Structure 1
Amino acid sequence: MHELTLSPQEIAEITGYSRYTHQQRQLRCHGIPFTTDGRNRPIVLRRNLASGFNELPKVDEYVATEPNYDAINGPTTKRSKRYAPATQGHQK
C-alpha cells in the first residue's frame, strides 16, 4: 500500500517522534517536502528521501540560520530613502 509514500511507522522512525506536529516540524527543519492528510498526518513521497536514510538528526527550529546583525553592530538607526514618512503624503 505504501509503495510511493512512507508508512506512518517509517515517518515516526526517521523523525524520532510519534506526534504528527513534531514529525512535521522535523521534516520542515530538514527541508523534506510533505503534505498532510485529513487527520493531519504527514505524507512523504519516497523519492524525496535519499537512499539509506535511517534517522534525521535533531534540529531546533528556533535556531536562526542567519546571524543577528543588530546584536553584532547595534540596531540600525538610518531610515531608508525609499520610504518617506507617512505624514508627508497629504499637505494643505
Structure 2
Amino acid sequence: MEGYQVRCANNGCEALDLLKQELPHLVVTDWMMPLMDGAELCRRMKAQPGLANVPILVHSSAPPRPDGTEQWDACFVKPARIRLFLTTVKQLCSRTKG
C-alpha cells in the first residue's frame, strides 16, 4: 500500500537466489529462518561486491545482540511500530535509489 514492489523468500537460501535475479533497494529479513538464518544472509550479502551496499533491515522477534560487528543497517523487534518501520524503509531505500 506504500508503493513498494516486494518479493518474498521463505529462507536465506531463497533470498540469495532472488538477489541474483534482481538487485533490490533494500532487504528486510528475519533473524531466525530455516536453512540459512539472518546472520548468515547478512554475512553472505556483505561478502559479495554486488550486494555489499544493499541496505539490510532486520525485523525479528529474536533480534541479534549488538557486538560491534553488525552487518545490517537497522534492526527492529517484532512487532515494530508501523510508522517507524515505514520511515526507516524509506530512508534505507533512498540510499540505493539516489
TM-score above 0.5: no
- Which TM-score applies when normalising by structure 2? 0.29
- Which structure shows the bigger proportion of residues in strand conformation? 2
